[in-house]
Chain A
Amino acid sequence: MTAPSRIRNFSIIAHIDHGKSTLADRLLERTGAISERDMRDQVLDEMDLERERGITIKANAVRIDYDAVSGDRYQFNLIDTPGHVDFSYEVSRSLEACEGAVLVVDASQGVEAQTLANAYMAIEGGLEVIPVVNKIDLPAADPDRAAEELAGVLGGTADEVIRVSAKTGVGIDELLEAIVDRLPPPEGDEDAPLRALVFDSFYDTYRGVVSHVRIVDGSVSTRDQIRFMATGLDVDADELGIRRPATEEVDRLGTGEVGYLITGVKEIDLIRVGDTVTHTSKGTVHALPGYLEPKPMVFSGLFPTDGDDFERLREALDKLRLNDSSLVFQAETSRALGFGFRVGFLGLLHMEIVRERLEREYDLELVATAPSVAYKANLMSGEQVPVRSPQDLPDVSSLAAIEEPYVKVMIITPSEFIGTVMDLVQQRRGEMGEMTYLSPERAELHYRMPLAEIVFDFFDHLKTRTRGYASLDYEPDGYQASDLVRVNILLNGLPVDAFSTIVHRDKAYVYGKAMVGRLRELIPRQLFDVPIQAAIGTRIISRETIKARRKDVTAKCYGGDITRKRKLLERQKEGKRRMKMVGQVEVPQEAFVAALKLET
């Protein structure tokens, strides 16, 4: 056990690609936590998906012993955090377990919106922030400008900014000393009853639920009887430990320390992230503040291509939920797609990741419907009902109004692109708020916008218009009534719920036309003419026809060609498996995905 005065708990906050994982790798290597032989990139990112996409999805905590220049040994607990806006709630949880944060900015890119949002979150949470400019070795690096920006944002001076290259190791020693000197030690009361914060937990097939905890007051030892205060669950602390990053069991975790706790509990719902752990006897009655449950922002229907896979999909979602409490789902029936689930996600990246994991780890073939935000329908009767799918929208005759979620948006962009960004935001029904210049070259713009307008392809458009330089962050900002309508898509005369969507009335025509045109391209020709229509209520706003297929035959078939011919037909048949029958029409998977990527 280490005295709290010799402990430093901190997170690294950085925008995607600004080098957070590389910096973490370098800190581990420099302090000898990991030998050069065992070194691999992104040591802390364990999921395949994290490595493939170069992102961090789950939080992670690792202990480092650091021998300071003063000759004293310090215990560092580095709590790794995700960088994507979809997972910002994970960041907020991690920050609760820290006294400080290392804020990393790419020397060639400067401050980004999300970094700033997370930095503000850290400052509001009372954390000490060490500003760092990374990648100073790059030819395009402009460390002075990045340092000026950082100082401007944080209200300090440019010479407080540490300049490093996580790649070459320059500046790492200075950073390690700054962590000792500038970050405060934890403040807990060693003699008080145990209070430990569960800041993350995950499910391990062999060990059950493993929780990451931060000891705020007192201490906990193995075999202590402990209580999870929110659920009232009393259990034994079977195992305590830390990660270096290799797992190492310890007998005790003291005030200010960070480690993991295993109790043998198998039900993840019993151990909630944000809960407070205390001792069963002589425990505290004052729980820590805890967290707000993350709210899903985007909903989509997931349907197995093969209807028989419904139960397997349910089991797979149940298993994923063990490690991802933000995932919510309920069974849903679609006329077009059969049985499936309406699933809530934190954002589109989260949605993509969940879908990819379901297909990859659970070998499921899925059709995902057009994502939707959560609307609220105000009825004439005064009642308010949630609308998580266009199908939930009550009949127009009973509707008083439809409310949609709004967000506060922050965009940081080079000044030269301000005009085009404003233009884009206006197209997306954004209301301009404040604008401030971080420097003469870069500006911070604030807007209020409907979530539905940014959640799908806004970021892609923003990147395109600013040649990749703009960054974006947003947070919920309540609901507001809008003139919204449901556009139904009819295939061969039948409405296909998977394609219908709720949009602003001004955009209904453009949406309908684009969707109908796209489907005409994506749906192969059938045995008969297939009309595709877009409609608001009974009014048809757009129509196209997929002409019947007339020719599907190889002209020549020699006796000798029969083997080759059969193999060709078999291959084509395999392709057909990825089709879903919607009424009498065969619809390929891409058509369902297309709804996500519609250019309007």
Chain B
Amino acid sequence: MSSELEVPTTEYRLPTTLPTTDYGLRTTDYGDEPPDSPTLAEAARRWSSAYVHIPFCARRCPYCDFAVVASDEAGGLDTGRYVDGLIVEIGMEPDPSAVDAINFGGGTPTRLRPDDLARIVGAIESRIGIADGAEISIEANPEDWTIAFARDLREVGFNRVSFGVQSFDPVVLAALGRVHSSRDAERAFDAARRAGFTNVSIDLIYGTPEESDESWRRTVARAIALEPAHLSAYALTVEGGTALSRAVLDGAPGPDPDDQADRYEYLDDALRSAGFVRYEVSNWARPGYSCRYNLSTWMMGEFSAFGTGAHDHRGGVRARNIRRLDTYLDRIESGVRPRAGSECLGEFESERERFMVGLRLASGVAPGSIGGPFVTSDEGHRLLDAAVIDVRDGRVVVLKPLLTDLVARSVLSVSADDC
């Protein structure tokens, strides 16, 4: 059983049933639109996507609070049984309509073998359908990634990969509990390119207390030097219940918000000079390479989601799956969809949610019924006066993306009676 958890090599059996469609390299039908274009964002509202959660990790990173099972934690991990469960769950999807994007997240999806990944993609295709030119993306850890693995994924149909690089500074990588080296990241990136992935993204984490301005500058320079198509950068956040939060409670230094703001601003400038466009708070892309799956979910597009702790959004209902792996499998295997709960938003609530989430996009958000009352409220005026928000081409735009939550809380002051 444990052999399935080892780093994939070229020795595994190739998938027997590959998806029949050639998805090609096309990432978007809106290739001419810049990543922060309102036209592109509004188009994404009509996209549909699927998320597949793979909870397995070699070990749990100290800052992570996702639904994850580390192989050093108790309980035997049976990835094959989990993939079987996922396929059963995909078969339960009630109202299939072909998806424009699929994202494999985790956890560490690259803990699975390509044939298992192929089975999952095949199941989605046969049950739900995959549109022509759909984006099929996977999150990958550099240490799992080989050229052979990359080629197999290409064959399965994957056309986008996002590497959890986090940093190029060994001190920061150690602090984040990451096992790969900066060289591993560069090798993995190169392997992806050689296997034919053009749409490659890099994930970075900034503001780790161990990081310095200088180390961040080097990380940014090395990331840009790889010429990725896309880059995501997340501020290190102390989530409750993690090893990091326990350490901070015990007096270890936590991330400093001003340092994080400095790092963010530095990165944004550097990426702009390198030809990237910021299209969401934490995401930058070269033209034509915005992440379809992300854009669609931020624009309240419909998405299905499979696996432990996964959340979906279909027909105005948000539902979430059970987080515990064993409970999830027990439910699935007894023929029941492993739901932990759901929420059906009313007209006003879903409009407010659309507006609040849309604020994260650089394209701004269409005012709808809530934008007017918001910008004319006292709080709206204060935000306009302080140049935190603006109204541009009929859309509400957050000018200081690092204050997006502050703006979103102000939106919560608008009541249904105001609209």
Interface size on B, residues (CB 8 A): 44
CB-CB under 8 A for A527 and B234, given A551-B257, A559-B298, A560-B310: no
B261 near A551 with CB under 8 A, answer yes
A206 interface residue (CB < 8 Å to B)? no
Task: Report A-chain residues with C-beta under 8 Å of the C-beta of B282.
Answer: 555-556
A555 near B281 with CB under 8 A, answer yes
Stretch of B34-42, B211-219, B267-275, B403-411 that contacts chain A: B403-411
Task: Report A-chain residues with C-beta under 8 Å of the C-beta of B281.
Answer: 553, 555, 557
Per a CB cutoff under 8 Å, which of B233, B264, B360, B382 touches A557?
A: B360
- The smallest C-beta distance from B188 to any residue of chain A, in angstroms, reads 22
Q: Would you give the 0/1 interface string for B224-261, flagging 1 where the beta carbon is closer than 8 Å to chain A?
A: 00000000011101000000000000000000011011
B413 near A563 with CB under 8 A, answer no
Task: Report A-chain residues with C-beta under 8 Å of the C-beta of B406.
Answer: 527, 549, 552-553
A570 interface residue (CB < 8 Å to B)? yes
B403 near A549 with CB under 8 A, answer yes
Task: Report B-chain residues with C-beta under 8 Å of the C-beta of A563.
Answer: 311, 318, 320, 343
B403 near A554 with CB under 8 A, answer no
Residues in A530-589 with C-beta less than 8 Å from chain B: 547, 549-563, 566, 569-570, 572-573, 576, 584
B383 interface residue (CB < 8 Å to A)? yes
Q: Residue on A with the closest CB to B305?
A: A560
B260 near A551 with CB under 8 A, answer yes
- The smallest C-beta distance from B375 to any residue of chain A, in angstroms, reads 15
Per a CB cutoff under 8 Å, which of A547, A551, A552, A562 touches B357?
A: A562
Q: Residue on A with the closest CB to B313?
A: A559
Distance in angstroms between the alpha carbons of A573 and B379 in the assembled complex: 13
Per a CB cutoff under 8 Å, which of A549, A554, A560, A576 touches B320?
A: A560
A291 interface residue (CB < 8 Å to B)? no
Q: Would you give the 0/1 interface string for B377-395, flagging 1 where the beta carbon is closer than 8 Å to chain A?
A: 0000011001010000000
Task: Report A-chain residues with C-beta under 8 Å of the C-beta of B360.
Answer: 557
Per a CB cutoff under 8 Å, which of B234, B261, B401 touches A556?
A: B234
Distance in angstroms between the alpha carbons of A552 and B386 in the assembled complex: 15
- The smallest C-beta distance from B160 to any residue of chain A, in angstroms, reads 16
A528 interface residue (CB < 8 Å to B)? yes
Task: Report A-chain residues with C-beta under 8 Å of the C-beta of B257.
Answer: 550-551
Task: Report B-chain residues with C-beta under 8 Å of the C-beta of A549.
Answer: 403, 406
A559 near B412 with CB under 8 A, answer no
B383 near A552 with CB under 8 A, answer no
Task: Report A-chain residues with C-beta under 8 Å of the C-beta of B353.
Answer: 562, 566
Distance in angstroms between the alpha carbons of A527 and B400 in the assembled complex: 11
- The smallest C-beta distance from A567 to any residue of chain B, in angstroms, reads 10
CB-CB under 8 A for A569 and B311, given A549-B403, A559-B298: no
A551 near B383 with CB under 8 A, answer no
B284 interface residue (CB < 8 Å to A)? no
Residues in B295-341 with C-beta less than 8 Å from chain A: 296-298, 303, 305, 310-313, 318, 320
- Looking at A557, A561, A584, the one whose CB has the most chain B CB atoms below 10 A away is A557
Distance in angstroms between the alpha carbons of A557 and B357 in the assembled complex: 9
Task: Report B-chain residues with C-beta under 8 Å of the C-beta of A550.
Answer: 257-258, 261, 402-403
Task: Report A-chain residues with C-beta under 8 Å of the C-beta of B237.
Answer: 554-556
A552 near B402 with CB under 8 A, answer yes
A527 near B409 with CB under 8 A, answer no
Per a CB cutoff under 8 Å, which of A553, A556, A561 touches B405?
A: A553
B298 near A560 with CB under 8 A, answer no
Per a CB cutoff under 8 Å, which of A551, A554, A562, A572 touches B318?
A: A562
Q: Would you give the 0/1 interface string for A283-301, flagging 1 where the beta carbon is closer than 8 Å to chain B?
A: 0000000000000000000
Provide 30 A-B residue pairs closer than 8 Å at the C-beta atoms, listed in order of the A residue: A527-B382, A527-B383, A527-B386, A527-B403, A528-B386, A547-B258, A549-B406, A550-B403, A551-B261, A551-B264, A551-B402, A552-B405, A553-B401, A553-B405, A554-B405, A556-B234, A556-B237, A557-B357, A557-B360, A559-B296, A559-B313, A560-B311, A561-B311, A562-B311, A563-B318, A563-B320, A566-B353, A566-B356, A570-B412, A573-B409
Task: Give 17 new A-B contacts, CB below 8 A, not counting A551-B257, A563-B311, A570-B412.
Answer: A527-B403, A528-B386, A552-B402, A553-B281, A553-B406, A555-B237, A557-B357, A557-B360, A558-B105, A559-B311, A562-B313, A566-B353, A566-B356, A569-B405, A569-B409, A572-B409, A576-B409
The 4 closest A-B pairs by CB, nearest first: A559-B297, A560-B311, A555-B234, A550-B261
Give residues in B with beta carbon < 8 Å to A: 51, 105, 233-235, 237, 257-258, 260-261, 264, 281-282, 294, 296-298, 303, 305, 310-313, 318, 320, 343, 353, 356-357, 360, 382-383, 386, 388, 401-406, 408-409, 412-413
